Structure 1
């Protein structure tokens, strides 16, 4: 089976392509930066997996229009090509941030969308367009909303935490009690491959997340355990921390309000819908196994 992947040179794209090729699929990358990409789309493919997009800029330096041109307009153009082809499946990688910047309880697929950032709004508007289109007989549309994706070779807030623990610096945000969902690249690859194989899977929106949620304190402890260190957790009054990070919103400091939110907020995502469709309960790796694999990769 032949599969087209946009964004195939990114972290998720590289891992997913390698995984699918290991499942005997033929993967072709499609660069939407190429002005002639429409003529290079293989119409004999079984699926398009649309990963390309503009990621959320936590430094808030990107112009809002950039998100809409890339995340919404390019998605619409690609989907129109899909509709005019014989390709069966269209996978759009959206984000849980397309519906909720904060979560009170557990995020499910039927929550009413209320994105607050240009990133989230651009993803949500792309979703709206896709859902408004009538699919031809035999075609399927999967809107994927992953939570925080990680794996070996992926940098981000996990790497920031790793460096803090590695240097023996106490974790100063331990007073923030939270629970967060993560998504191992191994589980993401598994979900996609199973949807491709399951011909009776219905079109729709699907959250992707590991089975278990963890607190940031648990994550710090897991990193410390991997490094054979004792976790150092400092319980500083929350109001003091929130006052300090406001300086980071003005000056280029490692911690600003956006990063504080990412590191300390609760954001639990339900994966019950996708598991029900695939008729599974167990995933290839647990949340701790996947995170441990990622953390070990930071040691080089």
Structure 2
């Protein structure tokens, strides 16, 4: 079986390709607009916005894994979210049809549900609060409409919660870095639960879907349990690193004022900063999601959530 990963030069794609290359069951290529630091030998430079390039590079492929996305909180112009995430989906589907490919694994996001929802499962209504979530939901709608006209296809959609792991430099890394280095300030009470996904489990679930779920259209939330509060994250970080973590609490309203201040500063400086009003809002929100369907699918996560945190903290901060 031959796999093509679209957008595999990033964090999740690199880990997934590394996992797949450990077996002889698959051949794999990476199609990305940027070269891969880890897998340059199988990387082909192409953009999901270039349909003709996709048609050429997907010849002979059996399964497409679509990871390519604009996902940062501060992408400008915002039209890029829709160009890459939505039009990129259309281009991918048309390139697949041209080459007779009928199987896709697509990584969407729990961002389609919005913030502060009550443990939504896959049937919960969409209510995205930012352009990333809106564009991911629109991409899913394109995929749904496509499947209605192509019912012989096999589509597996994963909506992961926030992903963390060794080598990641996203929001979870920034948070753990602040905690581990004693620069952390708790905004609000810290009782908000946050569903999280360890990258080692996400890539194993992707491989599981390719191998085991070979027909039909399925959607899965993914998050490792138990869901931790921000206070829990502080506690686990201190315990794993054997450090006493001091915590300063500031009110939510004051944190939001600070976030807006950084928004203004970023605009004036023309730079993207690690603190923003959007990130403060996400930090304080309840982001708990129901992943029971994934856990009932037959998949067994290779790591517990605490093991994932330990692996990341040991790799990044245990010095």
TM-score (norm 1): 0.89
Corresponding residue number in structure 1 for 2:291 = 271
Residue of structure 1 aligned with 2:137, choices 124, 141, 149? 124
1:13 corresponds in structure 2 to 13
Name which of 139, 154, 175 aligns with 2:153.
139
SS in 2 for 1:56: coil
SS in structure 2 at match of 1:114: coil
Give the whole-Å Cα distance in 1 for the aligned partners of 2:188 and 2:131: 30
2:309 match: 291
Pick the aligned partner of 2:235 from 221, 232, 251.
221
- 1:83–1:135 Cα contact (<8 Å) kept: no
Partners of 1:200 and 1:93 in 2: CA distance: 16
Name the SS for the 2:72 alignment partner.
coil
Q: Distance in 1 between matches of 2:251 and 2:226?
A: 28
Q: Hey, what does 2:96 align to over in structure 1?
A: 82
CA-atom RMSD in angstroms: 2.2
Q: 1:201 to 1:286 in 2, by over 3 A?
A: farther
Whether contact under 8 Å (1:55, 1:119) holds in the other structure is yes
Name stretches of at least 5 consecutive residues in structure 2 with no aligned partner. Answer: 33-45, 267-272
Query: TM-score, normalized by length of structure 2?
Result: 0.84
Q: Label 1:174 to 1:64 Cα distance change in 2 as closer, same or farther (>3 A).
A: closer
Q: 2:71 aligns with which of 55, 61, 64?
A: 55
Count of aligned residue pairs for this structure pair: 295
Query: Unaligned stretches of 5+ in structure 1?
Result: none
Q: 1:200 to 1:12 in 2, by over 3 A?
A: closer
* Structure 1 residue 10 displacement after superposition: 0.7
Match for residue 243 of structure 1 among 251, 257, 274: 257
Using the alignment, how far apart are the partners of 1:170 and 1:79 within structure 2?
Answer: 44
Give the 3 Å change call, closer, same or farther, for CA 267–227 of structure 1 in structure 2. same
* 1:45 lines up with 2:61 in the alignment: yes
Q: Paired residue for 1:205?
A: 219
Query: How far does residue 4 in structure 1 lie from its aligned partner after superposition?
Result: 0.5
Pairwise CA distance, 1:27: 0.9
Q: What's the CA shift for 1:239?
A: 3.2
> For each residue in 1:130-184, what CA deviation from the matched residue of structure 2 results, as whole angstroms up to 9, or x when unmatched?
1012354642012221111111100122222233233333533362321001111
The corresponding residue for 1:109 is 122
Tell me, in whole angstroms, the C-alpha distance in 2 between the residues paired with 1:125 and 1:169: 38
State whether residues 190 and 229 of structure 2, in contact with CA within 8 Å, keep that contact through their aligned partners in structure 1. Answer: no
Alignment partners' CA distance in 1, 2:280 and 2:75: 17
